[in-house]
């Protein structure tokens, strides 16, 4: 950011005493109250002078690290034609989150949510040989997504700034290298931004690729749940794989038997009755197999009932299920009248599966291994079957990771029990592979003169979201509290009182600091009380607050560290040197 003297008397800024009514989280409240941003539309914000300086500082760090890793900056329009997105299927698959619009001729367009298609086509346009690769391109650009729930100010907007980059390689080993280079750059970016993060393995969802990791900032206000173990495992909930028990031999297992279990439509009531019937069996909710019916809506619009069998102590995790069945979407199942074999509350696997009469697809949790024994529905009102053995008494069409992950579940890599935490996604890196290059026919000649499909990676950082995440993680009860590299100014210089000598001294000190290369926010307002000025300085959050006031009579000024609150009286003659040293750490 350019070095300047910002005068509070003329700065386009109004700080607010009250929190905005719609602000749910501290960063949103404070950024609005401190006059950094203003809401302009649902999920859309305008940057005011101080806010835009913060934004550009974050952007600069991202840009420096992308340039340093060898990626080249380009810039695309946000208004894009439909065809490329049609070719990859995303015009439809992106669902309601995509802003679609028509031009005056009735031709379909969209506002880019990410730009895989456009980058692929640009490279196809200009490159044709393996000698041109590897290549990484990026842009820092406005993205549009019609989010179901824009919230928390900059954290989830409908219009936001993303750094998106794309790598192009001739083979898988090249993609691995490009991916690793981006991963390293992201580590440097988030370290420089001072943001805590966990790198979690993720599912790539609608993007359709293979390896993928997210940089999640742990915070209770996050919308992403992730899991971690003390031993260093971290994963998105969607990506957690279940540690399945070993199969059990059938020999010696009891025969299945049906029991009357009146009024047991829930797992709780069922377990109570099971314990009454068999007091010594040690039955718990985990002994039961709960069969949950959902409707899958496939991209072609067809609807399919699907039953998922999970241990009764768990619920279906909607996000895990959606990730597994994408691009199909999940809706609640309501058509019991059309499927008489499904007895609500008493569904059992005997009537399910591709082999069965109902033909209803049946998928089970990985814990349902051959030889495992279950209490489950007997497909009749008020009756359950006990000791129903998987693989002996019933079969299934496949295994699905749709059950919720519970604290204490083992980490798949053996690194200990999992704990659940919440986070905000700061960045996402993934290996797209050849999906986009295939759909859009991006091929190059390899060393042997043979045409090969290029393999790609795509990588995103939420630039505007990072501003909010930094505000969120650094603020205190007084207001914002910026790290030095991010702050809109190095120093907030407050002149208090009415004495012209004070304003003269403050003016001189400001000029000295600016000349030495610092940006100074100078509160030169003549008729504002010291109390109001200090409150503003605390709210605005520059890292160093310098006060020129009463102390001047004794030849001193006060220098305060905004983050630690530490104050020091410094002789006027040494003030510039002292503040400079503080600002340069
Ligand atoms: P989320 O899970 O938070 O919705 P996403 O997985 O949809 O994010 P990506 O498509 O991976 O996001 O986009 C790359 C980055 O862009 C994200 O890591 C995030 O930092 C940022 N981002 C995504 N959606 C938004 C949004 N609505 N507002 C602000 N930043 C966003
Ligand atoms: Mg993501």
Closest atom of ligand 1 to CA, residue 156: 28
Q: Which residue did the predictor score with more confidence, 232 or 249? A: 249
| pLDDT mean over 190-217 | 81
Gap between the Cα atoms of 519 and 49, Å rounded: 13
Is pLDDT above 80 for 204? no
Write down the CATH number for the domain with range 491-583.
3.40.50.800
Nearest ligand, CA of residue 424? 1
| pLDDT mean over 465-481 | 96
User: Beta-carbon neighbour count of residue 240 at 10 Å?
Assistant: 23
Report CA(365)–ligand 1 centroid distance (Å): 29
Are the beta carbons of 447 and 107 closer than 8 angstroms? no
- The model's confidence at residue 402, banded by pLDDT at 50, 70 and 90, is very high
Nearest ligand, CA of residue 464? 1
Residue nearest atom 31 of ligand 1, based on CA coordinates: 462
- The model's confidence at residue 209, banded by pLDDT at 50, 70 and 90, is very low
- Structure confidence at residue 207 (pLDDT): 43
Its sign, for the CA torsion 391, 397, 398, 402, is: negative
Gap between the Cα atoms of 20 and 36, Å rounded: 13
**Ligand 1 pocket check for 157: Cβ under 6 Å:** yes
Closest atom of ligand 1 to CA, residue 424: 3
Gap between the Cα atoms of 199 and 215, Å rounded: 5
Q: Which residue has the tokens 């795509």?
A: 458
Are the beta carbons of 401 and 412 closer than 8 angstroms? no
Gap between the Cα atoms of 111 and 80, Å rounded: 6
- The model's confidence at residue 236, banded by pLDDT at 50, 70 and 90, is confident
Residue nearest atom 5 of ligand 1, based on CA coordinates: 425
Report CA(428)–ligand 2 centroid distance (Å): 5
Closest atom of ligand 1 to CA, residue 114: 10
Report CA(462)–ligand 2 centroid distance (Å): 10
User: Ligand 1: which of 200, 462, 463 to mutate, most ligand atoms within 8 Å of CB?
Assistant: 462
Nearest ligand, CA of residue 467? 1
Using a pLDDT cut of 70, give the percent of the chain over it. 98
Report CA(302)–ligand 1 centroid distance (Å): 30
Is domain 257-399 given the CATH code 3.30.300.20 in the classification? no
Gap between the Cα atoms of 276 and 264, Å rounded: 13
Burial of 564 (0-12, 13-18, 19+ CB in 10 A): exposed
H/E stretch holding 59 reads: helix 49-68
Which residues on adjacent β-strands are paired with residue 169? 455
Report CA(363)–ligand 2 centroid distance (Å): 27
Is pLDDT above 60 for 74? yes
Residue nearest atom 18 of ligand 1, based on CA coordinates: 427
| pLDDT mean over 119-132 | 96
pLDDT tens digits, 537-577: 999 999 999 999 988 989 999 999 999 999 999 999 998 99
pLDDT tens digits, 359-392: 999 999 999 999 999 999 999 999 999 999 999 9
Report CA(444)–ligand 2 centroid distance (Å): 29
- The model's confidence at residue 205, banded by pLDDT at 50, 70 and 90, is very low
pLDDT tens digits, 271-316: 999 999 999 999 999 999 999 999 999 989 999 999 999 999 999 9
User: Ligand 1: which of 112, 164, 425 to mutate, most ligand atoms within 8 Å of CB?
Assistant: 425
**Ligand 1 pocket check for 147: Cβ under 6 Å:** yes
Report CA(490)–ligand 1 centroid distance (Å): 30
Report CA(114)–ligand 1 centroid distance (Å): 10
- The model's confidence at residue 30, banded by pLDDT at 50, 70 and 90, is very high
Domain boundaries, the chain: 52-240+420-472, 257-399, 491-583
Are the beta carbons of 216 and 205 closer than 8 angstroms? no
Closest atom of ligand 1 to CA, residue 223: 3
Is pLDDT above 80 for 206? no
User: 427-441 as b/e, with b when 16 or more CB fall inside 10 Å?
Assistant: bbbbbbbbbbbebbe
User: Looking at the domain 52-240+420-472, which fold is it?
Assistant: BirA Bifunctional Protein; domain 2 (3.30.930)
């Amino acid at each position: 950011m350019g070095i300047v003297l910002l005068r509070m008397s003329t700065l386009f800024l109004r700080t607010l005493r009250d929190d905005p009514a719609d602000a749910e989280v501290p960063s949103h409240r404070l950024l609005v109250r401190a006059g950094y941003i203003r809401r302009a539309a649902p999920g859309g914000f305008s940057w005011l002078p101080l806010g835009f300086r913060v934004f550009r500082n974050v952007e600069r760090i991202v840009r420096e690290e992308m340039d340093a890793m060898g990626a080249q900056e380009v810039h695309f329009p946000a208004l894009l034609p439909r065809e490329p997105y049609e070719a990859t299927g995303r015009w439809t698959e992106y669902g309601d989150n995509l802003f679609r619009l028509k031009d005056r001729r009735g031709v379909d367009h969209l506002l880019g949510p990410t730009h895989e298609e456009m980058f692929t086509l640009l490279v196809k346009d200009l490159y044709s040989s393996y000698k041109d690769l590897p290549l990484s391109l990026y842009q820092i650009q406005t993205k549009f997504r019609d989010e179901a729930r824009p919230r928390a100010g900059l954290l989830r907007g409908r219009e936001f700034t993303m750094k998106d980059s794309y790598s192009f390689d001739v083979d898988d080993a090249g993609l691995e290298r490009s991916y690793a280079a981006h991963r390293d750059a992201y580590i440097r970016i988030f370290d420089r931004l001072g943001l805590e993060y966990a790198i979690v393995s993720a599912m790539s969802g609608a993007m359709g690729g293979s390896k993928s990791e997210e940089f999640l900032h742990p915070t209770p206000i996050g919308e992403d749940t992730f899991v971690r173990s003390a031993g260093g495992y971290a994963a998105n909930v969607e990506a957690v794989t279940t540690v399945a028990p070993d199969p059990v031999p059938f020999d010696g297992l009891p025969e299945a038997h049906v029991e009357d279990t009146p009024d047991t439509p829930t797992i709780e009531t069922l377990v109570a009755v099971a314990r009454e019937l068999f007091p010594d069996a040690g039955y718990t909710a985990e002994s039961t197999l709960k069969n949950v019916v959902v409707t899958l809506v496939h991209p072609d619009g067809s609807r399919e009932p699907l039953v998922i069998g999970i241990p009764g102590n768990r619920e279906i995790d909607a996000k895990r299920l959606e990730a597994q069945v994408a691009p199909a979407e999940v809706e609640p199942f309501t058509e019991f009248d059309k499927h008489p074999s499904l007895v609500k509350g008493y569904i059992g696997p005997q009537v399910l599966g591709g082999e069965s009469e109902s033909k209803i697809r049946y998928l089970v949790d990985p814990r349902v291994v051959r030889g495992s024994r279950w209490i489950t529905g007997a497909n009749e009102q008020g009756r359950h079957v006990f000791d129903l053995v998987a693989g002996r008494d019933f079969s299934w069409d496949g295994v699905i990771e749709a059950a919720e992950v519970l604290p204490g579940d083992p980490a798949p890599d053996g690194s200990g029990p999992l704990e659940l935490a919440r986070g905000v996604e700061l960045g996402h890196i993934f290996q797209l592979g050849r999906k986009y290059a295939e759909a859009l026919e991006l091929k190059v000649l390899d060393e042997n003169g043979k045409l090969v499909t290029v393999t790609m990676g795509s990588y995103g950082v939420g630039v505007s979201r990072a501003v909010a995440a930094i505000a969120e993680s650094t603020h205190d009860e007084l207001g914002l509290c910026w790290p030095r590299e991010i702050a809109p100014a190095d120093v907030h210089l407050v002149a208090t009182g009415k004495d012209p000598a004070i304003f003269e001294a403050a003016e001189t000190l400001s000029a000295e600091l600016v000349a030495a290369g610092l940006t100074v926010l100078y509160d030169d307002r003549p008729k504002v009380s010291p109390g109001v000025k200090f409150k503003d300085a605390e709210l605005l959050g520059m890292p160093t607050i310098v006060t020129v006031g009463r102390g001047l009579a004794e030849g001193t000024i006060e220098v305060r560290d905004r983050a630690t609150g530490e104050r020091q009286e410094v002789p006027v003659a040494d003030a510039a040197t002292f503040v400079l040293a503080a600002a340069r750490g």
